[in-house]
Amino acid sequence: MQERTALSDPARKALILVFGCFLALCAFTVQAGNEVWKTKPFEQWTKADVKQILYDSPWVKRELVPTEWISKSGMEEAPSMSGGGVYGTGSSAANIQQPVGTPSGQAAFVVQWASSRTLREALVRQGEFDGQIKESEESHYLGESKDLQITVQGPDMRPFEGPTLGELMSNAVLRGKQSGVKVTATNVDLQQNGGYLSAVVFRFPRKTSDGKDVLSPNEKAIQFTVKVKNLDLGATFDPRKMVDTKGPDF
């Protein structure tokens, strides 16, 4: 059975920073602006630049899905791995605050291409603004990622509490829309924050078992999907737009 993988301290800090910014980012009003990841180095990014990257860039998708894991009585249905609900047995769905403007009966999730340089640089910059990361620590965060990583987070992560790690891996897929090349997750990291599940990181290989690139040069859309009980979540990324000053960025 697949065991829970411990994150390194830098990765753990980065994920906590992302989750801590979630509600603030959802309330962030997107304004027209330059693609700062193409125009200046990350050391020069401002707080507004970082918000744009973490909330409104090609590496980030915001998705709404029906809250099918909540029964008509408003009681949670998805159990945690310890056998109890993430907010306690019998807690009300009203305890979970969705971002302002989320339609009734819907839940908001942010899906991020977490292995990209741009997103990791934005997290480092955000950490520096918050006083949680020192400039001398930057190299710990910015090493090249050997795999493709997709992070899912949101205020209500209960659908991810019930499945085993093996089920999460087998039901998470990256697929090239044009090429049809697809891979399932090879590892899953469950990130806790304050005793609650705050984010799930799905790790995918860059090549299939027969050597095909998941991200082919002519690919126009990469689809991420994860399907577990009461949740069907998906997001589509455009590789042609996922480019920084150094080239394609995945």
Mean pLDDT of the chain: 81
Give DSSP secondary structure letters for 195-209: TEEEEEEEEE-SB-T
**Domain boundaries, given as residue ranges, for the chain:** 9-78+106-245
pTM of the model: 0.81
Residue 194 has pLDDT above 60, yes or no: yes
Beta strands of the chain (E only): which ranges? Answer: 60-66, 106-113, 148-153, 172-176, 182-184, 187-193, 196-204, 222-228, 231-237, 243-244, 247-248
What is the token pair recorded at 40?
């200046």
Average pLDDT over residues 51-73: 88
Give DSSP secondary structure letters for 132-167: SS-GGGHHHH-SPPSSEEEEEE-S--GGGTSS-HHH
Over residues 232-243, the pLDDT tens digits come to 999 999 999 999
Rounded CA separation 222/77 (Å):
31
Residue 94 has pLDDT above 50, yes or no: no
Over residues 130-185, the pLDDT tens digits come to 988 887 777 777 887 899 999 999 999 999 998 999 999 999 999 999 889 999 99
Over residues 198-209, the pLDDT tens digits come to 999 999 999 999
Better pLDDT: 156 or 76: 156
User: Residue 33: what pLDDT?
Assistant: 57
User: Residue 26: what pLDDT?
Assistant: 47
Better pLDDT: 25 or 39: 39
